[in-house]
Structure 1
Amino acid sequence: MKCGVRFCGGCNPRYDRGKALEKIKEQLTDVDFVHAAEGEAHDLLLVIGGCTNCCASYDQFETKLGILKMWDKTHIDQICDEIEKKN
């Protein structure tokens, strides 16, 4: 599975978003996480926001299985479970 990743701009991050992605990657070694790219179809899109606004735009990306959004490090396990269900 190819999962595109979209980060917010980081104007008010309340946790280390890069570390959160690394923890997700450690749990889901069979998923190919790539920076989301316009014009490229991804199986899934993971939007990683730094605060509750989770304001990163994502309408410009194509996905086959949908979009998952997180805005807190406590979402890591839930995101992993959701991705495993779709994989």
Structure 2
Amino acid sequence: MLDKRASINFCGGCNPRINRGKVAGEVKELLTSYGYHISFNSFDVNLIIYLSGCTSNCAQKYSKSDIPSVVVAALTVDTVIVDESGIVAEIVKRVRNYYEQLEK
């Protein structure tokens, strides 16, 4: 069975256009209910969710990691514009899709 460990890594929060804490909490709650182990600001994982509050994308921009990732920068998820109410669902979908591909 695949070890489903992911981390939510934050930017500094200087100019947030989304509520990063709320998004992170909802993502963690949903993914945990699906059996994922979610940590914060860790690199000892299989996947990183970079959560930046604005389009500068500092959460990922300053990371030197090559761990696979889902990148949230304000109202975009992996450069696709998403309505604010759909950000959590889009993140969860992308994380689940990533691990499903690994299991094939």
* RMSD after superposition: 1.7
Structure 2 matches for 1:50-65, cutoff 5 A?
50-56=53-59, 57-59=62-64, 61=65, 63=67
Bigger drift between 76-85 and 27-36 goes to 27-36
- Which 4+ runs in 1 deviate beyond 3 A? none
Q: Percent identity?
A: 27
What is the rounded CA distance, in whole Å, between the counterparts of 2:7 and 2:66 in structure 1?
9
Larger helix percent: 2
Q: So what's the TM-score if we normalise by structure 2?
A: 0.68
| Number of residue pairs matched by the alignment | 82
Q: Larger Rg: 1 or 2?
A: 2
1:34 aligns with 2:36: no
Q: So what's the TM-score if we normalise by structure 1?
A: 0.79
Structure 1 gap ranges (5+): none
